[in-house]
Amino acid sequence: MNMLESLQSKDTMIPEKYRQMSREELEERVRFAKDHLGKRLFIPGHHYQKDEVIQFADATGDSLQLAQLSASNREAEYIVFCGVHFMAETADILTSKHQKVFLPDLRAGCSMADMADSSQLERAWQKLGEQFGNTIIPLTYVNSTAAIKAFVGKNGGATVTSSNAENMLKWAFTQKERVLFLPDQHLGRNSAFHLGVPLDEMAVWDPIKDELIFDGPTDQIKVILWKGYCSVHENFTVENVKQVREQYPEMNIIVHPECRREVVALADDAGSTRHIIETIKHAKKGSSWAIGTEMNLVKRLINENPDKHIISLNPHMCPCLTMNRIDLPHLAWCLDSIVETGSHNEIKVEEQIADDAILALNRMLARA
């Protein structure tokens, strides 16, 4: 069954009874499944997950940590991934054959990952190859489908995450003269700029129009940025930064590097979810922070750091709707089904794709 077929299947619609259950009953069911399955079950949770879910995670992390955890866990038979689809695919690729990965709600995708598909990438690669010859290495953000990772792996490239993008770019430039960075133009631009690549040496590839956007002599292009973005992080604007600076001059601004270049340039700091958490945790008592990242994480940081003044950089808070699809009812339903049948919303990457994608992931993990 492909993704579309499984989404249309009745089995992927949560039974009404889970919607009617009280929070206590749902939590009881999760606790029962965890006790019953013991070490056979492992629940990794991304930092953007809701508190009602994250309270049951066996480990939490940013994308890099979650990939590392998947690569090192050989014990759990059932991995119930509380995150989005590309993270569950990555876990399936990195775990052994006897381990099964499940996503509590198959609708938990990532709109950014959907902005690059294999046929678009094949066309781009062909056209860019005609223009630049064999001078380009592809790097893909882990926020991409397994098929994109496979293409990148087959073509000598690697995956990156928000916590190692700069290092991976450094490595990529030891391999080839130019980098094609996909699908997030902002992470690519921010990381390359930090590394010292001037903005006028970066072009943008438009996968809808199949064209390169660049003003100037094309032989000076060092980085080609796929025209993708995160719809959550695009909501943090220069206007938000200005308002915070005006209203709270003492406030530190920290953002995720999926924010636009102009926002990152005006912020005091930028980094992965893990970097944001660590920075706030170790910040001085009484310090003030405006955070530019997903709402669940900002809310958790506010609750966990009562000794600091923390606000969202955008007063309208930005949720990741797909991350939010994983909720307590879906987690309880998934675990109940695993206890009963040993399966529920399994994420299984095709073998050939997994064999190529792991090349890209391993090149990253070897340098992480």
Distance of closest approach, residue 233 Cβ to ligand SF4, in angstroms: 6
Token pair 């930028």 is found at 270
Alpha carbon distance 88, 342 (integer Å): 17
Token pair 């926002």 is found at 263
Distance of closest approach, residue 176 Cβ to ligand SF4, in angstroms: 26
Tell which residue, 62, 32, 64, has the closest CA to residue 49: 62
Alpha carbon distance 53, 123 (integer Å): 40
Distance of closest approach, residue 113 Cβ to ligand SF4, in angstroms: 6
Residue 33 or 263: which CB sits closer to ligand SF4?
Answer: 263
CA-based diameter of the chain, in Å? 64
Q: Which of the listed partners (ligand 13P, ligand SF4, none) does 111 bind, with a CB threshold of 5 to 8 Å by partner kind?
A: ligand SF4
Residue 110 or 124: which CB sits closer to ligand SF4?
Answer: 110
Collapsed DSSP state (helix, strand, coil) of residue 110:
coil
Q: Which of the listed partners (ligand 13P, ligand SF4, none) does 161 bind, with a CB threshold of 5 to 8 Å by partner kind?
A: ligand 13P
Distance of closest approach, residue 272 Cβ to ligand SF4, in angstroms: 11
Distance of closest approach, residue 296 Cβ to ligand SF4, in angstroms: 10
The DSSP result for 301-332, as a single string, is HHHH-TTSEEEESSTT----TTGGG--HHHHH
Angle formed by the axes of helices 185-195 and 165-175, to 10°?
Answer: 70
Residue 121 or 277: which CB sits closer to ligand 13P?
Answer: 277
Supply angle C-alpha 7, 342, 351, rounded to 5: 60
| Interface contacts to ligand SF4, rule CB under 6 A | 84, 110-112, 143, 230-232, 258, 294, 320, 322-323
Q: Which of the listed partners (ligand 13P, ligand SF4, none) does 287 bind, with a CB threshold of 5 to 8 Å by partner kind?
A: none
Tell which residue, 189, 179, 169, has the closest CA to residue 138: 179
| Interface contacts to ligand 13P, rule CB under 6 A | 47, 62-63, 143, 161-162, 230, 256, 258, 272-273
Residue 99 or 296: which CB sits closer to ligand SF4?
Answer: 296
Distance of closest approach, residue 62 Cβ to ligand SF4, in angstroms: 11
User: 337 to each of 80, 91, 115, 232, 340, how far by Cα in Å?
Assistant: 12, 20, 32, 32, 5
Residue 34 or 325: which CB sits closer to ligand SF4?
Answer: 325
Residue 176 or 275: which CB sits closer to ligand 13P?
Answer: 275
